[in-house]
Amino acid sequence: MTIATGERLPSTTFTKMTQNGPEAVASDDYFAGRTVAIFSVPGAFTPTCSAKHLPGFVEKADALKAKGVDEIACTAVNDVFVMGAWGKSAGADDKVTMLADGNGDFAKAVGLTMDGSKFGLGTRGQRFSMIVKDGVVAELNVEEPGDYKVSSADHMLGQL
């Protein structure tokens, strides 16, 4: 079942790359007491994700933070090394936190997986974005398959 606005995010663990290597990030701690803009992409280095989705949040990071967002995070069902390299190549370092959902635990827990098998991707997270306030989903924007509209940074700015 897909998570809905007003619901608390389930407890899962992400991984992020740090200067000291991979670091586990407990979702309960990560979202506690602050406003986080999180967006999910089907895969790092894929066309729409690399050309539009991540760059849009990097470009609009200051505007989102000016509207009350404490942190911006990108997640994908990719390993932490790929997410770290993608963030670095996109210039996301100090603007967007790259959270690897390596086994898809977060995508499964929020009910937002997709089957990318016909493209050789296996089970991935759908393209979506959320505004999460103190662990509770305040806004949820899920794209139709193949679309890139409602999960964008611009759309999110209009929601804040």
Give the catalytic positions in this structure. Answer: 49
Q: What is the four-CA torsion angle of 90, 92, 97, 99, rounded to 10 degrees?
A: 10
63-76 burial code (b ≥16 CB/10 A, e <16): ebeebebebbbbbb
Q: How far apart are CA 77 and CA 42, in angstroms?
A: 7
DSSP string of 93-142?
Answer: TTT-EEEE-TTSHHHHHTT-EEE-GGGT--EEEPSEEEEEETTEEEEEEE
Q: Quickly tell me which residue has 């050789």 as its tokens.
A: 120
β-strand partners of 38: 73, 130
Q: Quickly tell me which residue has 């007003």 as its tokens.
A: 6
